[in-house]
Amino acid sequence: MQNHRRFQRAVRDFVKEVVFPDAQAREEDGQTPSKHVVKEMARLNIIAMRLGPGQHLHGRILMDGLVEPQVVRFPSFTQEYTYLTPRKPKFDCFHELILNQELARIHARGYSDGLGGGTCIGLPPVMNFGKPALRDKIVAEVLGGEKFISLAVTEAFAGSDVSGIKCHAKKVEGAWVVNGSTDAGAVVVLLVPRGPGVTTRPILTSYSITAGTAYVTFDDVHVPEENLLGKEDGGLQVVLSNFNHERWGLTCGVVSAQRAVVEECLKWVTQREVFGKSLSSQAVVRSKIAAMIARVESCQSWLESITFQMTHMNYREQSTYLAG
């Protein structure tokens, strides 16, 4: 617990000094997060820690040595996990929860997504299902802040219905050819590098352009066959395998944002004076604030209960007992 508190203070200081100023500036000019913020997050291995405990943390110095990795002997999604306890406090799911909640305190949801949302969603399929050579190369580049990755699932016609995806991949000799056309068949997941035939353009979303949300199109894109993730007929498992972790991470951010709203409301009702006295002196206002706090704390309690269970289960058990 003491280590978690020290970790929280260290992350909060980093967010206040490095992330928050850039978030406010980028929300003003509409640009994506600055490179120096990404590189500093990579130096402290914050990018890596946002993916949770795992083999990808092995050998990394976390937050200048504040915690040590929780080493996983078998990183594969389909195998059992064996944890090796380090001498220093080990990085666990509660550290990850703290990290997500502190990063959400910047009052800039779009910027937060642009700062690592794609990585949290797009990199796990490569880590868990990519061939060793491909996995090691991509993981090193992304966690080092050199490249970005995203998971292209949502379509204009299918929405987030994974089984209804219309993008088509045709297997040819030594490669796959990807196009945005309809074809019936099994779902395959490919790691598509940015190159000829891949075009992207920004999408104006309802919250912030700093998220970097983009419309991606493929036109005869040749993808090496070694870039196949998982089996040819097992793409659905690849996409769905990280959904639980994604939802948990989103919940961490949402609960933190709720807490930030309550904090702002408390400041306002204390400062605002009506008829010669502050709003906080009104019983009805205090009652509403109390109800808000109760809802936030109940969500936080439930989230921490699930997180506690996650620290005592491998990913297969989490999928079986916590997914619902």
170 in Cβ contact with 176 (< 8 Å):
yes
* Residue 113 predicted with pLDDT over 60: yes
The answer to whether residue 58 sits within a structural domain is yes
Q: Is 53 helix (H, G, I), strand (E, B) or coil?
A: coil
Token reading at 93: 């799911």
CA–CA gap between residue 135 and residue 65 (Å, rounded): 25
Is residue 182 classed exposed, middle or buried when 0-12, 13-18 and 19+ CB atoms within 10 A define those classes? exposed
pLDDT at 158: 65
Average pLDDT (87-97) is: 88
pLDDT at 181: 52
What lies within 8 Å, CB to CB, of 285 at 6+ separation is: 269, 279
pLDDT at 81: 47
The answer to whether residue 154 sits within a structural domain is no
142 in Cβ contact with 149 (< 8 Å):
yes
pLDDT at 180: 66
Element (H, E) at 201: strand 198-202
**Selected residue with higher pLDDT from 79 and 248:** 248
Average pLDDT (185-201) is: 87
pLDDT tens string 150-170: 988 888 776 667 667 778 888
Q: Are residues 249 and 227 in the same domain?
A: no
Q: Are residues 29 and 139 in the same domain?
A: yes
Least confident among 23-27, 82-86, 102-106 = 82-86
Q: Are residues 30 and 46 in the same domain?
A: yes
202 in Cβ contact with 214 (< 8 Å):
yes
Tell which of 143, 173, 196 closes a domain.
Answer: 143
Average pLDDT (49-67) is: 92
Mean predicted lDDT score pLDDT of the chain: 87
Q: Are residues 112 and 128 in the same domain?
A: yes
Nearest to 10 by CA among 33, 34, 43, 44: 44
What lies within 8 Å, CB to CB, of 279 at 6+ separation is: 268, 269, 270, 272, 273, 285
**pLDDT bucket at 80, cuts 50 / 70 / 90:** very low
Tell which of 143, 172, 205 closes a domain.
Answer: 143
**pLDDT bucket at 4, cuts 50 / 70 / 90:** very high
322 in Cβ contact with 313 (< 8 Å):
yes
* Residue 142 predicted with pLDDT over 90: yes
pLDDT at 99: 96
CA–CA gap between residue 142 and residue 107 (Å, rounded): 25
CA–CA gap between residue 152 and residue 118 (Å, rounded): 10
pLDDT at 196: 92
pLDDT at 78: 46
Work out how many domains the chain is built from and give that number: 3
The answer to whether residue 291 sits within a structural domain is yes
Tell me the whole-structure pTM to 2 decimals.
Answer: 0.86
The answer to whether residue 78 sits within a structural domain is yes
The answer to whether residue 63 sits within a structural domain is yes
CA–CA gap between residue 198 and residue 195 (Å, rounded): 6
* Residue 184 predicted with pLDDT over 70: no
Question: In CATH, what number is assigned to the domain containing residue 266?
Answer: 1.20.140.10
What share of the chain has pLDDT > 70, as a percent?
Answer: 90
pLDDT at 317: 84
What lies within 8 Å, CB to CB, of 232 at 6+ separation is: 171, 186, 188
Average pLDDT (42-60) is: 93
CA–CA gap between residue 222 and residue 268 (Å, rounded): 56
- What is the phi-psi region of residue 185: left when phi exceeds 0, alpha when psi lies from -120 to 50, beta otherwise? left
The angle, 0 to 180 degrees and rounded to 10, between the axes of the packed helices 2-14 and 93-103 is 30
* Residue 31 predicted with pLDDT over 70: yes
Q: Are residues 116 and 193 in the same domain?
A: no
Q: What are phi and psi of 97, to 5 degrees?
A: -60, -45
CA–CA gap between residue 306 and residue 312 (Å, rounded): 10
* Residue 182 predicted with pLDDT over 80: no
**Selected residue with higher pLDDT from 75 and 166:** 166
Average pLDDT (48-67) is: 92
Q: Are residues 307 and 259 in the same domain?
A: yes
* Residue 283 predicted with pLDDT over 70: yes
Q: Are residues 202 and 305 in the same domain?
A: no
* Residue 136 predicted with pLDDT over 90: yes
The answer to whether residue 48 sits within a structural domain is yes
Q: What's the DSSP call for residue 257?
A: H
**Selected residue with higher pLDDT from 182 and 1:** 1
Q: Are residues 116 and 196 in the same domain?
A: no
Domain that holds residue 287: 240-321
CB neighbourhood size of 253 (10 A): 18
**pLDDT bucket at 76, cuts 50 / 70 / 90:** very low
Q: Are residues 129 and 182 in the same domain?
A: no
pLDDT at 77: 47
Average pLDDT (68-92) is: 60
